[in-house]
């Protein structure tokens, strides 16, 4: 399949390489031109512009962090809506807001194209090994056409339904639950530390008992080790997603009081200069609130 890929950050690099290794005809683009060099060396074609990226492509994948970035790539001058052929697919795999996804869907429909939303579940190491979970929403025929791409990039695809915004809602809800889990872990660690308990003991109790899941094992251990500079998902990305979650809840009139606590802790971490650190630094943020050094 003739595929374009825009957004070659830590997640995008691994995902694009998976497509290249699967034998797809791949063109790549990033605003930082040097980001395309490793993939170009491996056989991809580096495009200088979005229009060049989209020319003759069946599908263009975007893996971009901010809503503003995906709007520029898709809706701006020379963007995907102008440059993709009729019948082509924009497969957006970043975490974006409901309002943005609705706008992209409408604009691509007007251009005779199709939007498929397929936000991913996982960190950069899973992207590199093709072990991401992928939640996909869009017209059935378009989702089927993207099947080989999704299979190359992920371990499992969860079909949300015919609307792209359905996949968006699932990803945002998943992130909301994960954020609340991190806040709850941080509170638990602070509580046991007040009683002179070694945090590793509490971590073992959690992850060998009711909470034997990757979220608790990975983020909990990072809280124990205080390895906040080993960044998988940084605070500033969590804050971006938290704001999108709050916006989606507001659109649907859904109160989310637990999520509000997560958002407040993220803001506190940024205020304390930890915006570039891993989200596990919420453990430190909770400790500060408890008077623990």
The segments of the chain whose pLDDT lies below 50 read: none
Domain range enclosing 58 = 2-161
130 and 147 in one domain?
A: yes
CATH code where residue 13 lies:
3.40.50.720
Q: What is the pLDDT of residues 13-43, one digit of tens each?
A: 999 999 999 999 999 999 999 999 999 999 9
Phi and psi, residue 132, nearest 5°? -70, 150
As given in the structure block, the two tokens for residue 219 are 């983020």
pLDDT at 293: 77
Task: Count CA atoms within 13 Å of residue 233 on its CB side.
Answer: 25
Domain stop point among 106, 127, 161: 161
Domain stop point among 132, 161, 190: 161
91 and 150 in one domain?
A: yes
Domain stop point among 100, 129, 161: 161
Mean pLDDT of the chain: 97
Q: What is the pLDDT of residues 151-175, one digit of tens each?
A: 999 999 999 999 999 999 999 999 9
As annotated, the active-site residues are 171
Phi and psi, residue 14, nearest 5°? -65, -40
How many other β-carbons are positioned within 10 Å of the β-carbon of residue 2?
14
User: What is the C-alpha to C-alpha distance for residues 50 and 129, in angstroms, rounded to an integer?
Assistant: 27
CATH code where residue 237 lies:
1.10.1040.10
205 and 251 in one domain?
A: yes
Total number of domains in the chain = 2
User: What is the C-alpha to C-alpha distance for residues 249 and 270, in angstroms, rounded to an integer?
Assistant: 23
116 touches 137 (CB < 8 A): yes
135 and 61 in one domain?
A: yes
User: What is the C-alpha to C-alpha distance for residues 74 and 135, in angstroms, rounded to an integer?
Assistant: 21
């Amino acid at each position: 399949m003739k595929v374009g890929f825009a957004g070659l950050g830590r997640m995008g690099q691994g995902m694009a390489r998976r497509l290249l290794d699967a034998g797809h005809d791949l063109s790549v683009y990033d605003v930082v031109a040097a980001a395309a060099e490793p993939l170009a060396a491996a056989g991809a074609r580096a495009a200088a512009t979005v229009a060049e990226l989209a020319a003759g492509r069946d599908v263009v994948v975007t893996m971009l962090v901010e809503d503003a970035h995906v709007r520029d790539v898709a809706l701006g001058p020379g963007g995907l809506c102008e440059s993709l052929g009729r019948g082509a697919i924009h497969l957006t795999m970043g975490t974006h807001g409901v309002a943005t996804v609705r706008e992209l869907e409408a604009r691509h429909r007007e251009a005779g194209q199709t939007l498929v939303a397929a936000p991913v579940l996982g960190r950069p190491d899973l992207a590199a090994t093709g072990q991401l979970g992928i939640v996909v929403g869009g017209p059935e025929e378009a989702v089927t056409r993207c099947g080989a791409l999704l299979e190359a990039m992920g371990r499992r695809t969860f079909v949300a339904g015919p609307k792209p915004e359905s996949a968006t809602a699932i990803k945002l809800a998943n992130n909301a639950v994960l954020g609340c889990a991190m806040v709850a872990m941080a509170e638990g660690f602070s509580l046991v530390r007040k009683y002179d308990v070694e945090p590793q003991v509490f971590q073992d109790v959690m992850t060998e008992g009711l909470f034997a899941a990757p979220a608790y094992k990975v983020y909990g251990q990072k809280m124990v080790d205080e390895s906040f500079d080993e960044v998988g998902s940084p605070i500033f990305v969590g804050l971006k997603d938290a704001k999108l979650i709050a916006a989606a809840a507001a659109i649907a009139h859904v109160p989310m009081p637990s999520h509000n606590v997560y958002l407040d802790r993220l803001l506190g971490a940024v205020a304390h200069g930890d915006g570039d650190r891993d989200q596990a630094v919420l453990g430190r943020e909770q400790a500060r609130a408890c008077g623990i050094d």
